[in-house]
Amino acid sequence: MPELPEVETIKRGLEKKIIGQKITSVEILNPKSFQGIEKLILNTKIKKVFRRAKVLGIEFENEYDLIFHLKMSGQVILVGDSKVKENNSDRFVGGHPTKDMLGQLPNRSTRIVFTLSDNSKLYFNDQRKFGWVKLIEKSKLQENSLIKSLGPEPLEKEFTKEILKNQLQKKKNTAVKVAILDQTVISGVGNIYACEACFLAKIEPNRKVSSLTDKDIENLFYGIIRSLEDGIKYGGSTKTHFVNADGKKGLFLDYANVYSREGQPCKVCKTILIKTKLNGRGTVFCTTCQI
DNA sequence: CACTTGACCTGTCCGC
DNA sequence: TGCGGACAGGTCAAGT
Protein backbone atom coordinates (compact mmCIF):
# COMPACT_ATOMS: atom_id res chain seq x y z
CA MET A 1 0.00 0.00 0.00
CA PRO A 2 1.36 3.01 1.40
CA GLU A 3 3.43 5.59 -0.25
CA LEU A 4 4.42 8.89 1.31
CA PRO A 5 0.89 10.42 1.46
CA GLU A 6 -0.62 7.33 3.05
CA VAL A 7 2.09 7.06 5.71
CA GLU A 8 1.85 10.80 6.36
CA THR A 9 -1.93 10.45 6.80
CA ILE A 10 -1.44 7.70 9.38
CA LYS A 11 1.25 9.72 11.13
CA ARG A 12 -1.01 12.77 11.49
CA GLY A 13 -3.87 10.65 12.76
CA LEU A 14 -1.73 8.83 15.30
CA GLU A 15 0.13 11.76 16.77
CA LYS A 16 -3.08 13.44 17.84
CA LYS A 17 -3.92 10.51 20.06
CA ILE A 18 -0.87 8.63 21.28
CA ILE A 19 1.74 11.21 22.28
CA GLY A 20 2.22 11.09 26.04
CA GLN A 21 0.74 7.61 26.32
CA LYS A 22 2.61 4.41 27.10
CA ILE A 23 2.46 0.96 25.57
CA THR A 24 1.45 -1.44 28.31
CA SER A 25 1.57 -4.68 26.35
CA VAL A 26 2.54 -6.09 22.97
CA GLU A 27 0.89 -9.17 21.52
CA ILE A 28 2.79 -10.62 18.56
CA LEU A 29 0.52 -12.84 16.49
CA ASN A 30 2.98 -13.30 13.61
CA PRO A 31 6.59 -13.48 14.82
CA LYS A 32 8.01 -12.59 11.39
CA SER A 33 6.25 -9.22 11.52
CA PHE A 34 8.23 -8.04 14.58
CA GLN A 35 11.95 -7.65 15.16
CA GLY A 36 13.55 -6.62 18.42
CA ILE A 37 12.85 -6.98 22.12
CA GLU A 38 9.43 -5.51 22.79
CA LYS A 39 9.98 -5.21 26.56
CA LEU A 40 12.40 -2.34 25.94
CA ILE A 41 9.60 0.13 25.22
CA LEU A 42 6.95 -1.08 27.64
CA ASN A 43 5.62 1.58 30.01
CA THR A 44 7.73 4.32 28.47
CA LYS A 45 6.10 7.55 27.31
CA ILE A 46 5.64 8.16 23.60
CA LYS A 47 7.46 11.36 22.72
CA LYS A 48 6.65 11.79 19.05
CA VAL A 49 5.42 10.19 15.86
CA PHE A 50 7.49 10.71 12.71
CA ARG A 51 7.76 9.69 9.09
CA ARG A 52 10.82 9.21 6.89
CA ALA A 53 9.93 8.30 3.30
CA LYS A 54 7.46 5.40 3.63
CA VAL A 55 8.64 4.49 7.12
CA LEU A 56 6.45 5.39 10.11
CA GLY A 57 8.15 5.83 13.46
CA ILE A 58 7.19 6.16 17.11
CA GLU A 59 9.83 7.75 19.32
CA PHE A 60 9.90 6.99 23.04
CA GLU A 61 11.33 8.98 25.94
CA ASN A 62 14.07 6.38 26.37
CA GLU A 63 16.65 5.51 23.72
CA TYR A 64 14.39 3.46 21.47
CA ASP A 65 12.25 3.91 18.39
CA LEU A 66 9.59 1.65 16.98
CA ILE A 67 9.59 1.79 13.18
CA PHE A 68 6.94 0.42 10.81
CA HIS A 69 7.09 -0.42 7.12
CA LEU A 70 3.69 -1.21 5.64
CA LYS A 71 4.94 -2.52 2.27
CA MET A 72 1.93 -3.49 0.11
CA SER A 73 -0.85 -4.28 2.52
CA GLY A 74 0.04 -2.98 5.98
CA GLN A 75 -2.36 -1.04 8.18
CA VAL A 76 -1.86 0.79 11.48
CA ILE A 77 -5.19 1.38 13.16
CA LEU A 78 -5.90 2.90 16.57
CA VAL A 79 -9.13 1.84 18.25
CA GLY A 80 -10.34 3.56 21.42
CA ASP A 81 -11.22 1.71 24.62
CA SER A 82 -15.01 1.75 24.21
CA LYS A 83 -14.80 0.55 20.62
CA VAL A 84 -12.39 -2.24 21.61
CA LYS A 85 -14.98 -3.63 24.04
CA GLU A 86 -17.71 -3.35 21.43
CA ASN A 87 -15.64 -5.26 18.88
CA ASN A 88 -14.72 -8.01 21.27
CA SER A 89 -18.34 -8.60 22.19
CA ASP A 90 -19.45 -9.38 18.65
CA ARG A 91 -16.26 -10.68 17.17
CA PHE A 92 -17.64 -14.12 16.50
CA VAL A 93 -20.94 -14.82 14.87
CA GLY A 94 -22.42 -18.28 14.98
CA GLY A 95 -19.15 -19.68 16.26
CA HIS A 96 -17.21 -18.60 13.17
CA PRO A 97 -14.94 -15.60 12.82
CA THR A 98 -16.59 -12.83 10.85
CA LYS A 99 -14.86 -11.96 7.60
CA ASP A 100 -12.43 -9.07 7.45
CA MET A 101 -14.17 -5.76 7.81
CA LEU A 102 -13.39 -2.37 9.19
CA GLY A 103 -14.28 -2.07 12.81
CA GLN A 104 -13.85 -5.79 13.35
CA LEU A 105 -10.49 -5.94 15.04
CA PRO A 106 -8.47 -7.94 15.52
CA ASN A 107 -9.14 -9.78 12.27
CA ARG A 108 -7.37 -12.46 10.27
CA SER A 109 -4.72 -10.10 8.98
CA THR A 110 -3.84 -8.69 12.41
CA ARG A 111 -0.16 -9.43 13.10
CA ILE A 112 0.60 -7.33 16.21
CA VAL A 113 -1.59 -5.71 18.85
CA PHE A 114 -0.26 -2.93 21.09
CA THR A 115 -2.28 -1.96 24.15
CA LEU A 116 -1.89 1.66 25.28
CA SER A 117 -2.20 3.17 28.74
CA ASP A 118 -5.75 4.45 28.09
CA ASN A 119 -6.76 0.90 27.03
CA SER A 120 -6.97 1.78 23.37
CA LYS A 121 -5.41 -0.74 20.99
CA LEU A 122 -3.04 -0.12 18.12
CA TYR A 123 -3.38 -2.85 15.50
CA PHE A 124 -0.73 -3.68 12.93
CA ASN A 125 -2.53 -5.56 10.18
CA ASP A 126 -0.81 -6.92 7.10
CA GLN A 127 -2.52 -9.36 4.81
CA ARG A 128 0.55 -10.20 2.74
CA LYS A 129 3.06 -10.25 5.63
CA PHE A 130 5.62 -8.20 3.69
CA GLY A 131 5.56 -5.39 6.23
CA TRP A 132 7.45 -5.22 9.50
CA VAL A 133 7.75 -3.48 12.82
CA LYS A 134 11.22 -3.06 14.32
CA LEU A 135 12.35 -1.90 17.71
CA ILE A 136 15.72 -0.22 17.35
CA GLU A 137 18.02 2.10 19.22
CA LYS A 138 17.51 5.72 18.16
CA SER A 139 21.22 6.04 17.54
CA LYS A 140 21.01 3.19 15.03
CA LEU A 141 18.12 4.63 13.02
CA GLN A 142 20.32 6.45 10.52
CA GLU A 143 22.43 3.33 9.99
CA ASN A 144 19.41 1.24 9.09
CA SER A 145 20.16 0.01 5.58
CA LEU A 146 16.83 1.24 4.22
CA ILE A 147 16.93 4.68 5.89
CA LYS A 148 20.59 5.23 5.12
CA SER A 149 20.18 4.94 1.37
CA LEU A 150 17.11 7.19 1.06
CA GLY A 151 17.15 10.18 -1.23
CA PRO A 152 15.69 13.59 -0.32
CA GLU A 153 12.18 14.09 1.05
CA PRO A 154 10.20 15.70 -1.77
CA LEU A 155 7.91 17.76 0.48
CA GLU A 156 10.69 19.33 2.53
CA LYS A 157 11.42 23.00 1.78
CA GLU A 158 15.02 22.08 1.05
CA PHE A 159 13.97 19.99 -1.96
CA THR A 160 14.45 21.99 -5.15
CA LYS A 161 14.35 21.31 -8.85
CA GLU A 162 18.13 21.61 -8.91
CA ILE A 163 18.35 18.83 -6.35
CA LEU A 164 15.99 16.70 -8.42
CA LYS A 165 18.12 17.33 -11.50
CA ASN A 166 21.26 16.31 -9.62
CA GLN A 167 19.63 13.17 -8.27
CA LEU A 168 18.45 12.21 -11.75
CA GLN A 169 22.00 12.50 -13.10
CA LYS A 170 22.69 9.13 -11.47
CA LYS A 171 19.98 7.44 -13.55
CA LYS A 172 20.47 8.77 -17.06
CA ASN A 173 19.69 5.52 -18.84
CA THR A 174 16.64 4.69 -16.78
CA ALA A 175 13.00 5.30 -17.63
CA VAL A 176 11.70 8.42 -15.89
CA LYS A 177 9.02 6.61 -13.94
CA VAL A 178 11.46 3.93 -12.79
CA ALA A 179 13.91 6.64 -11.68
CA ILE A 180 11.41 8.49 -9.50
CA LEU A 181 10.29 5.19 -7.96
CA ASP A 182 13.89 4.59 -6.91
CA GLN A 183 14.04 5.53 -3.23
CA THR A 184 17.69 6.53 -3.48
CA VAL A 185 16.73 9.21 -6.04
CA ILE A 186 13.75 10.66 -4.16
CA SER A 187 12.11 9.05 -1.17
CA GLY A 188 8.43 8.34 -0.71
CA VAL A 189 7.16 8.14 -4.29
CA GLY A 190 5.50 4.81 -5.10
CA ASN A 191 3.67 3.40 -8.07
CA ILE A 192 0.47 5.46 -7.83
CA TYR A 193 2.13 8.84 -7.39
CA ALA A 194 4.86 8.04 -9.93
CA CYS A 195 2.13 7.53 -12.56
CA GLU A 196 0.36 10.70 -11.46
CA ALA A 197 3.53 12.79 -11.40
CA CYS A 198 4.44 11.73 -14.95
CA PHE A 199 0.95 12.70 -16.10
CA LEU A 200 1.07 16.13 -14.47
CA ALA A 201 4.52 16.70 -15.97
CA LYS A 202 3.26 15.54 -19.41
CA ILE A 203 6.12 13.05 -19.63
CA GLU A 204 5.74 9.58 -21.10
CA PRO A 205 6.76 7.24 -18.23
CA ASN A 206 9.08 5.20 -20.44
CA ARG A 207 11.20 8.14 -21.59
CA LYS A 208 14.85 7.93 -20.67
CA VAL A 209 16.02 10.38 -18.05
CA SER A 210 18.74 11.54 -20.44
CA SER A 211 16.07 12.89 -22.81
CA LEU A 212 14.64 15.31 -20.24
CA THR A 213 15.10 19.03 -20.81
CA ASP A 214 15.44 21.42 -17.89
CA LYS A 215 11.83 22.39 -18.48
CA ASP A 216 10.78 18.71 -18.30
CA ILE A 217 12.61 18.35 -14.99
CA GLU A 218 10.91 21.46 -13.65
CA ASN A 219 7.54 20.03 -14.69
CA LEU A 220 8.42 16.71 -13.09
CA PHE A 221 9.45 18.50 -9.91
CA TYR A 222 6.08 20.24 -9.64
CA GLY A 223 4.24 17.08 -10.74
CA ILE A 224 5.79 15.05 -7.93
CA ILE A 225 5.04 17.65 -5.29
CA ARG A 226 1.51 18.31 -6.51
CA SER A 227 0.55 14.63 -6.69
CA LEU A 228 1.93 13.91 -3.21
CA GLU A 229 0.28 16.98 -1.71
CA ASP A 230 -3.04 16.07 -3.32
CA GLY A 231 -2.63 12.55 -1.97
CA ILE A 232 -2.30 13.95 1.55
CA LYS A 233 -5.15 16.41 0.98
CA TYR A 234 -7.54 13.57 0.14
CA GLY A 235 -6.33 11.31 2.95
CA GLY A 236 -4.31 8.93 0.78
CA SER A 237 -5.16 6.34 -1.88
CA THR A 238 -7.19 3.23 -1.19
CA LYS A 239 -6.98 0.62 -3.92
CA THR A 240 -7.90 -2.22 -1.60
CA HIS A 241 -6.13 -2.09 1.76
CA PHE A 242 -5.15 1.36 2.85
CA VAL A 243 -6.91 2.93 5.81
CA ASN A 244 -5.84 5.78 8.05
CA ALA A 245 -5.22 5.54 11.79
CA ASP A 246 -9.00 5.65 12.35
CA GLY A 247 -9.64 2.79 9.92
CA LYS A 248 -11.06 5.08 7.21
CA LYS A 249 -10.25 4.78 3.50
CA GLY A 250 -8.44 7.46 1.50
CA LEU A 251 -10.20 9.29 -1.34
CA PHE A 252 -7.33 10.31 -3.62
CA LEU A 253 -8.10 7.74 -6.31
CA ASP A 254 -11.45 9.47 -6.90
CA TYR A 255 -9.39 12.45 -8.07
CA ALA A 256 -6.46 10.66 -9.74
CA ASN A 257 -5.81 11.45 -13.40
CA VAL A 258 -4.40 8.11 -14.53
CA TYR A 259 -3.73 5.45 -11.89
CA SER A 260 -6.32 2.69 -12.08
CA ARG A 261 -8.15 4.57 -14.88
CA GLU A 262 -6.95 2.47 -17.82
CA GLY A 263 -9.61 2.18 -20.52
CA GLN A 264 -11.21 5.43 -19.40
CA PRO A 265 -10.83 8.78 -21.17
CA CYS A 266 -8.06 11.18 -20.23
CA LYS A 267 -9.51 13.98 -18.12
CA VAL A 268 -7.68 16.53 -20.27
CA CYS A 269 -7.97 15.29 -23.88
CA LYS A 270 -10.39 12.31 -23.77
CA THR A 271 -7.88 9.89 -25.29
CA ILE A 272 -8.42 6.42 -23.82
CA LEU A 273 -5.74 5.79 -21.19
CA ILE A 274 -3.35 2.91 -21.80
CA LYS A 275 -1.86 0.48 -19.28
CA THR A 276 1.57 -1.03 -19.79
CA LYS A 277 4.26 -2.60 -17.65
CA LEU A 278 7.47 -0.89 -16.74
CA ASN A 279 9.90 -2.91 -14.68
CA GLY A 280 7.09 -5.22 -13.73
CA ARG A 281 4.90 -2.41 -12.38
CA GLY A 282 1.54 -1.43 -13.83
CA THR A 283 1.83 1.94 -15.55
CA VAL A 284 -1.07 4.00 -16.84
CA PHE A 285 -0.66 7.04 -19.06
CA CYS A 286 -2.15 9.18 -21.83
CA THR A 287 -0.51 8.71 -25.20
CA THR A 288 -1.61 12.19 -26.27
CA CYS A 289 -0.80 14.34 -23.24
CA GLN A 290 2.38 12.53 -22.23
CA ILE A 291 5.19 12.66 -24.78
C1' DC B 1 28.29 -1.97 -12.99
C1' DA B 2 23.32 -1.16 -14.28
C1' DC B 3 19.17 -2.99 -15.16
C1' DT B 4 15.64 -6.78 -14.89
C1' DT B 5 13.46 -10.62 -12.77
C1' DG B 6 12.17 -13.43 -8.85
C1' DA B 7 10.94 -13.93 -4.01
C1' DC B 8 8.53 -12.68 -0.13
C1' DC B 9 2.75 -13.76 1.08
C1' DT B 10 -2.35 -13.67 0.79
C1' DG B 11 -6.45 -12.70 -1.57
C1' DT B 12 -9.33 -11.50 -5.41
C1' DC B 13 -10.76 -11.35 -9.99
C1' DC B 14 -11.10 -13.02 -14.72
C1' DG B 15 -11.22 -16.39 -18.43
C1' DC B 16 -11.95 -21.06 -19.75
C1' DT C 1 -18.61 -24.09 -9.57
C1' DG C 2 -13.87 -25.05 -10.14
C1' DC C 3 -9.17 -24.23 -11.42
C1' DG C 4 -5.23 -21.81 -13.07
C1' DG C 5 -3.04 -17.61 -13.92
C1' DA C 6 -2.42 -12.71 -13.46
C1' DC C 7 -2.29 -9.02 -10.52
C1' DA C 8 -1.92 -5.84 -6.18
C1' DG C 9 0.48 1.03 -2.75
C1' DG C 10 7.39 -2.24 -1.81
C1' DT C 11 11.94 -3.73 -1.19
C1' DC C 12 15.68 -7.09 -1.48
C1' DA C 13 18.63 -10.63 -3.53
C1' DA C 14 20.02 -12.93 -7.31
C1' DG C 15 20.63 -13.23 -12.16
C1' DT C 16 21.93 -11.36 -16.84
Smallest CA-to-CA distance from A62 within A168, A136, A116 is with A136
Q: What b-and-e string marks burial along A63-102, b requiring 16 or more CB atoms within 10 Å of the CB?
A: ebbbbbbbebbbbbbbbeeeebeebeeeeeeeeeeeeeee
Nucleotides of C under 7 A from a protein CB: 7-12
What pLDDT was estimated at residue A81? Answer: 81
A125 CA to B10 C1' in angstroms comes to 12
Annotate A52-97 with three-state secondary structure. Answer: ECCEEEEEECCCEEEEEECCCCEEEEEECHHHHHHHHHCCEECCEE
Q: Which residue is nearest to nucleotide C7 (CA to C1')?
A: A282
Is A3 one of the annotated active-site residues of the chain? Answer: yes
CA distances from A141 to A41, A43, A47, A134 (A): 16, 21, 16, 10
* CA neighbours closer than 13 Å in the CB half-sphere of residue A274: 12
- Is A179's CB less than 7 Å from nucleic acid strand B? no
A269 CA to B8 C1' in angstroms comes to 40
Q: Block means of pLDDT (10 residues each) for chain A, length 291 residues?
A: 94 98 98 97 98 98 98 97 69 37 82 98 98 97 93 97 96 96 97 98 97 97 98 97 96 98 97 95 97 95
What pLDDT was estimated at residue A104? Answer: 86
Rounded Cα–Cα distance for residues A287 and A271 (Å): 7
What pLDDT was estimated at residue A99? Answer: 41
What pLDDT was estimated at residue A38? Answer: 96
Cβ contact A6:A235 at 8 Å: no
pTM of model > 0.85: yes
Cβ contact A220:A180 at 8 Å: yes
Virtual torsion, Cα A252, A256, A261, A267, nearest 10 deg: 150
Sheet holding A132-137, edge to edge: A34-35, A132-137, A64-69, A55-60, A46-52
What pLDDT was estimated at residue A1? Answer: 62
What pLDDT was estimated at residue A256? Answer: 98
Nucleotides of B under 7 A from a protein CB: 2-6, 8-12
- Is A2's CB less than 7 Å from nucleic acid strand C? yes
Rounded Cα–Cα distance for residues A25 and A68 (Å): 17
What pLDDT was estimated at residue A101? Answer: 47
Q: What are phi and psi of A203, to 5 degrees?
A: -115, 130
What pLDDT was estimated at residue A102? Answer: 52
- Is A50's CB less than 7 Å from nucleic acid strand B? no
Amino acid at A244: N
Which residue is catalytic, options A51, A52, A54, A121? Answer: A54
Computed on alpha carbons and rounded to an integer, the radius of gyration of chain A in Å comes to 20
Rounded Cα–Cα distance for residues A73 and A2 (Å): 8
- Is A169's CB less than 7 Å from nucleic acid strand B? no
Which residue is catalytic, options A2, A5, A152, A154? Answer: A2
What pLDDT was estimated at residue A95? Answer: 31
Cβ contact A290:A202 at 8 Å: yes
Closest C1' nucleotide to A73's CA: C9
Is A2 one of the annotated active-site residues of the chain? Answer: yes
Closest C1' nucleotide to A178's CA: B3
Pairing of strands A92-93, A55-60: unpaired
Cβ contact A54:A147 at 8 Å: no
Rounded Cα–Cα distance for residues A212 and A186 (Å): 17
What pLDDT was estimated at residue A103? Answer: 62
What pLDDT was estimated at residue A106? Answer: 96
DSSP-assigned beta bridge partners for residue A66: A58, A135
